[in-house]
Amino acid sequence: MAQTFYEAVAQAVDGGEPPPNTVLLVQPSAPYVCLGFHQELEKEIDVECCREKGLPIIRRSQGGGATYLDNQPHTNLASKLKGSAPKEG
């Protein structure tokens, strides 16, 4: 699933040696619902609706809000590391 790529980037940023700046564009092959690490499932997502529609629910290791992802190429993540921006002037 596309979520695997997000997890890999998050782990790399959280790890010891910083990775290069990253822009990640993912187009999931099938829709799913993604829940943030600290969110309460039943408060954020209509679990019964997801079951009826056959939508998997995945909890990611990072925070943030619940999202619905489908096969449209609108999902992206940019990771900008401190000190890597061009200097002004």
Looking at residue 38, what is its pLDDT?
Answer: 93
pLDDT in tens, the chain (89 residues): 567 766 777 777 676 666 666 677 777 888 999 999 999 999 999 999 999 999 999 998 888 889 888 887 654 555 555 665 555 55
Looking at residue 83, what is its pLDDT?
Answer: 60
Looking at residue 24, what is its pLDDT?
Answer: 72
- Is this structure's pTM higher than 0.75? no
Looking at residue 40, what is its pLDDT?
Answer: 94
* DSSP string covering 41-88: HHHHS-HHHHHHHT--EEE-SS-S--EEE-SSTTEEEEE--TT-SPPP
Sign of CA dihedral 14, 18, 64, 32: negative
